[in-house]
Amino acid sequence: MTHPVPAQQRALLRRITPVRLIFLGFLLVTGIGTGLLLLPAATVEGEQTDLIHALFTATSALCVTGLTVLDTGSHWSGMGQAVILALIQLGGFGVMTFATVVGMLVLGRLSLRSKLLAAAEAKSLGLADLRSLILGIVKISLLVEAVLALILTLRFFFSYDMGLGEALWQGVFHSVSAFNNAGFSLFSDSMMGFVSDPVICFALSVAIILGGLGFPVILQLRRRFRTPRLWSMHTRIVLWATAVLLLGGTCMILALEWSNPDTLGPLHWSDKLLAGFFQSVQTRTAGFNSIDISAMEPTTWLGMDVLMFIGGAPAGTAGGIKVTTFAVLLFIVFAELRGGAAVNIFGKRLSRAVHRQAIAVVLLAAALVVLSTGALMHVTGLPLDMVLFETVSAFATVGLSTGITADLPVSGQLLLVLLMFIGRVGPITFASALALRERRTMYELPKERPIIG
């Protein structure tokens, strides 16, 4: 026999929104991670961690950013590194799960609130669809990480004279960091020591790309890989935009850095191609680097700013405004240039509500980056190109740096902490709030238009 749920509990369930859940969850885990990293056992003997550095590291790990103020391999003990790894896994898995569920809600395939209310009334879970969705994300995540960990472990063990235990830990740590697009590395120079190693560079790149595609795309490719005509508009946009941006980023880095004596210049031409591709992949929000970012040309930084700002796909471990948002704006521009009455993408018409959502996300993200860049310039007195790179990297949860992060004042580091947090949960929660709170009005006001351009 079931009993009705009290009105107060029903009201509480109605107030549970995805936005509140994700923000509160991230705040709670960030606090726990900061506390664990402050423990003496989290650092190697002779090292100490203050509150700001612990908070910065915990936020960067949970938001899968990769910006660091302390050397991950030499400052943190095995326990500290394990805490960072756990935060990376929780951050990547949590965002991927949340964004996937919200995507299903928007598409009308699930109604989480109604299912929760019904389950509460019936005193049963009643969330089979949701459970299977989460289990699918867990299985795919662990499978990709396990395969990559095995490849990296074998490579480190047989080619770099590491003991089995060290090779295994390096393999596991970097596989989790790569698939979750975190960019944390136990090597002081990130992946610069492996700039000419195609096995490590390609293995990391594949995992990063998969993590950046998002679970809905991976799931559809797994089920309908041989029938592209059945792919959704979302999958087509993500694959198309990812390929274009990866190729464009590779060509840009190669063209601008080919003769730079401090980056690609000394490398053999084949290693230059590998390094250019690897760095293009990282700029899409992963954060590893196989060449010295601080020695790059300012023009390259600017091009990477654009790539970082765009980021990866929704419902994945990447950050930024997302490739779908960028693609929607691009198709809107094309439609306007052609004088079309509607925006058509791959044979389907795009909803006008999506136009407004994409424009709102981009404008708010750009405003946040501009204001943060101005504030950081005021606090530090550093040049625009370096500060802009740092703020975009923090907002887009990339983790690449021109080398100024550790030397920033406390106020500057706290600003980056805020940017990382907003950049990780902000675009997802804002976009979902716009989509889920859409309502129809029963009237329309008279039309009028200003002069544009």
CB 177 within 8 A of CB 185: yes
The pLDDT of residue 18: 56
In whole numbers, what is the pLDDT of the chain averaged over residues?
Answer: 85
Tell me which residue of 349, 322, 347 sits closest to 432, measured CA to CA: 322
Measure the N-to-C terminal CA separation of the chain; round to a whole number of Å.
Answer: 67
Tell me which residue of 204, 212, 282 sits closest to 241, measured CA to CA: 212
Q: Is the pLDDT of residue 404 over 60?
A: yes
Region 99-115: mean pLDDT is: 52
Q: Name residue 349's beta-bridge partners.
A: 344
CB 189 within 8 A of CB 73: no
Round to whole Å and give the CA distance between 250 and 290: 13
Q: Is the pLDDT of residue 35 over 50?
A: yes
Between the alpha carbon of residue 2 and those of residues 114, 118, 125, 270, the distances in Å are 18, 12, 13, 69
The pLDDT of residue 113: 47
Round to whole Å and give the CA distance between 207 and 81: 21
CB 16 within 8 A of CB 114: no
3-class DSSP state of 124: coil
Poorest-pLDDT segment among 12-26, 229-243, 250-264? 12-26
Q: Which alpha helices (H) appear in 76-214, and where do they start and end?
A: 78-107, 112-122, 128-159, 164-179, 198-213
**pLDDT tens by residue, 302-346:** 999 999 999 988 877 888 899 999 999 999 998 888 887 788 888
Chain centroid to CA 102: how far?
Answer: 16
Contacts of 187 (CB under 8 A, 6+ apart): 73, 193
The pLDDT-based confidence of 118 (bands split at 50, 70, 90) is: very low
The pLDDT-based confidence of 227 (bands split at 50, 70, 90) is: confident
The pLDDT of residue 11: 56
Round to whole Å and give the CA distance between 327 and 325: 5
The pLDDT of residue 429: 61
Q: Is the pLDDT of residue 62 over 60?
A: yes
Residues of the chain above pLDDT 70, percent: 83
Q: Is the pLDDT of residue 175 over 80?
A: yes
The pLDDT of residue 207: 94
Q: Is the pLDDT of residue 168 over 80?
A: yes
Q: Is the pLDDT of residue 413 over 60?
A: yes
Quote the tokens at residue 22.
Answer: 């994700």
Between the alpha carbon of residue 18 and those of residues 70, 73, 186, 352, 392, the distances in Å are 33, 36, 34, 23, 25
Round to whole Å and give the CA distance between 171 and 200: 10
Round to whole Å and give the CA distance between 394 and 415: 9
Round to whole Å and give the CA distance between 56 and 311: 21
Round to whole Å and give the CA distance between 127 and 118: 10
Round to whole Å and give the CA distance between 19 and 431: 10
The pLDDT of residue 149: 97
DSSP state of 345: E
3-class DSSP state of 349: strand
User: Could you write out the DSSP letters of every residue in 280-304?
Assistant: HHHHTTT---SS-GGGS-HHHHHHH
Chain centroid to CA 259: how far?
Answer: 31
Q: Is the pLDDT of residue 1 over 50?
A: no
pTM of the model: 0.86
Task: Of 129-133, 217-221, 234-238, give the range with the top mean pLDDT.
Answer: 234-238
Region 199-227: mean pLDDT is: 90
Q: Is the pLDDT of residue 141 over 50?
A: yes
The pLDDT of residue 218: 87
